[in-house]
Copies of this chain bind each other. A is one copy, B any other.
Amino acid sequence: MSMDRLIEKIVQTQNPTVAGLDPKLEFIPAAIKEKAYKAYGHTLKAAAKAILEFNRGLIDALCDIVPAVKPQCAYYEMYGWQGVKVLYKTIEYAREKGMYVITDGKRNDIGTTMEAYAVAHLGEVAVGEERCTPFGADALTVNGYLGSDGISPLLKVCAAQDKGIFVLAKTSNPSSGELQDKPIGDTPVYRVMGEMCQQWGQALPGKYGYSGVGAVVGATYPEQLGMLRKELSATFFLVPGYGAQGGGAQDVAGAFDTNGLGAIVNSSRAIMTAYKKESGAKESEYAACARREALRMKEDITRYIGEIRLPEQK
């Protein structure tokens, strides 16, 4: 099962983190951009070429020490269909290098439309007599505001294709409480959503106790993170908000179980732009700097959780 594969990669690398690939042009070394502009002008095609080269460099530098990457769809769509083509190529390259790929799309819709998103990002589509892979990620982030009609179509595709999803529960942003903290009876919205994740996950049981339906819970709300970890024993967490958004290693410690499993913590900008902060680093060393930052983050988090172990199989 898809979440089992992620867990095995985490244990193998002893690293419960995921590198976000949010390649805004301003994050990319000038030399890479200039080469693309020279070949293709100041066009979306040039932007796309630069992003792909940058991403491949990062993936090469990270693939043996980081278990997963999380490309954020918005930064690819921002460069038009040419950017979306690079999303496809980035996913393909990361998977070739053995990484688990979480497409961060926060997709949501109902019925056949949600099924189309599932097929798009996790499945295969029939064209005439062939079956084609539109994007081919291992997991997709989704928004559960529409209820079970928005999630059930995903579960079918996940079961058939060995894929997983992460549903937004408590997001890392300051205003997430405007809706998510509002009480429904005695239970805030984010916990209602967490309980729905736990239920949806029953359709995709995993051999290490975590289902194929994970939840997104922000590092910036450590109290809620710890509470949800206790309540949602079968729900794996994707934890954004570490680093740039203010969450520290101590804040995410409560997301893990006694085996050091149960969560994967994301860092995007700090890894991608490490070369801008490392003293004396050249732009051309961006990949090596990203690797050092990824290792620093791994050490920062794992000192709170110790060795990561596979539990007894269920």
A180 at the interface (CB under 8 A from B): yes
A147 at the interface (CB under 8 A from B): yes
Nearest CB on B from A101, distance (A): 15
Q: Report how many copies the assembly holds.
A: 2
What count of chain A residues pass the 8 Å CB interface test?
Answer: 75
Contacts of A87 in B (CB 8 A): 81
A72 at the interface (CB under 8 A from B): yes
CA distance A47 to B116 in the complex (A): 14
Contact assessment for B189 and A173 in the assembled complex, using a CB-CB cutoff below 8 Å: no
Nearest CB on B from A92, distance (A): 11
Nearest CB on B from A247, distance (A): 14
A143 at the interface (CB under 8 A from B): yes
Supposing A132-B44, A143-B106, A147-B176 touch, asked if A88 and B81 sit within 8 A by C-beta, the answer is yes
CA distance A162 to B302 in the complex (A): 48
Contact of A125 among B78, B81, B148 (CB under 8 A): B78
Supposing A143-B108, A171-B146 touch, asked if A42 and B177 sit within 8 A by C-beta, the answer is no
Contact assessment for A147 and B180 in the assembled complex, using a CB-CB cutoff below 8 Å: yes
Can you add 19 more A-B contacts, CB < 8 Å, to A146-B176, A150-B173, A179-B189?
Answer: A24-B116, A42-B127, A47-B127, A47-B132, A74-B114, A75-B116, A77-B116, A78-B117, A80-B120, A80-B133, A80-B135, A106-B108, A110-B171, A110-B173, A144-B179, A145-B145, A146-B175, A149-B175, A179-B192
In the complex, 28 of the A-B residue pairs with CB atoms within 8 angstroms, ordered by the A residue number, are: A22-B113, A37-B128, A42-B130, A43-B127, A44-B134, A74-B114, A74-B120, A77-B135, A78-B119, A79-B132, A80-B88, A83-B134, A106-B107, A106-B108, A106-B143, A108-B168, A110-B171, A111-B173, A144-B145, A145-B171, A146-B175, A147-B175, A147-B177, A147-B178, A150-B175, A178-B196, A179-B189, A182-B189
A residues near B (Cβ < 8 Å) are 22, 24-25, 33, 37, 41-44, 46-47, 72, 74-75, 77-81, 83-85, 87-88, 106-114, 116-117, 119-121, 125-130, 132-135, 143-150, 168, 171-180, 182-185, 189, 192-193, 196
